[in-house]
Structure 1
């Protein structure tokens, strides 16, 4: 469970507990089917403090029942119902009897949602008899069941469309809850943030290039990011640092030099990367890699 989603504590009742996990890659996303006996899974502040698992997990309950607790809410799920779980905050899921779930694992920032929207999204079930549920349930089932059959190139293209699809569905759901229509900024900012995520490796990713791609002025682009209490440049740098930090902590990246990791995510100067990394995280990239490994 920890390897598939994020570091968790798992409790099982006395006796034999069995289950299976089948995972596949879909471009930069992951999917999984999990089935097993009675268990309880907790994401605690202690585990979150490690700072390496920043994922949003979309869970479709196929069989059994589940109880999900997060952000001071409790959701009880039956077959065909969907829930979002944010692995960056404390959470508890209990399956009191044999179950099966199908899951989509996304980097939590990829949908372009702010912290307040993420908190409104979690532990609020999407029922199968709603418009969103009737769309998402068969879509998620087919996606998880067929992900392993696609080539890496096809998987990457599909992953981009999956993110766009979920961005639209989640955006509609959040706006329906507050009962208002999305403003231009509410529509544009997540789209621009997603564009930035897809082009982080490009050292020529500039405000001018971003504005041109979205057919807006550079001045308007800067105004949009003022609503996020940041600047375009800071947002790009923050996202690059997060991806470098995540990659440096991975065991399969141990053979890459720190300079190579920095270049991969758009930093053209290793010295500049080391300075901004230390300023952001209080340690050098090398110190972070050693402590993470």
Structure 2
């Protein structure tokens, strides 16, 4: 009797372990992805972007890019290649420093920033957007009281395989300042997570960090609520903006040399504050010439 009871408990434990597989946390990873973006037709650079803060690109068009993200402890590097040029973002969380590099039209430029620098930049961008809205006669938000839009995660029963992983579909619903409900389709694998994601990585191949930089994926709220790793998403907005990202390859726990995260030579790298001053001077000259 005792022998049969003991055997039954062992089998029950085996079934429980099989039914609830433990999620893996990868301390090191290499993730490759591709991104396709369609820019809105009604947004221009001089207007400062749309009401949601998406940057203007001077007219309609699109972009395709490929990116590789390296994760290793407190170090994250994103390398992105597109028709707009090549970008590289190196995040050193231990020293709270981010270096952003860009190679385009034969020039190699870059800037470095701290978390305090990026927070100051966020407030400056918010103040500029409020000024634009005020000029248009629209309501102005209080930047001091501004909060990240609340995201609702809607689970679905749909699944598909991406880069060899069985992925689940979820829908992230958020409300814009105008009260419009936006939906983002997300595909994720519950098999593993990577520390530091989605604060960095999977943000439009690094392009997203350069343009928005706060929530990842061109400002997609709610990614941090997904219990797994994002393998793809589809963003579609009423102004015509569309973005499709999909992971093409994942390597978990590979050997990654620290040299991968070293800032390469040959770039003209300046502090973020100096880059902002140059940008403001260029914008003033552009406005004066119009």
TM-score by length of 1: 0.24
Q: Report which of the two structures shows the higher radius of gyration computed on alpha carbons.
A: 2
- If asked which structure has higher relative contact order (CA below 8 Å, sep 6+), I would say 2
More strand by share: 2
More helix by share: 1
TM-score by length of 2: 0.25
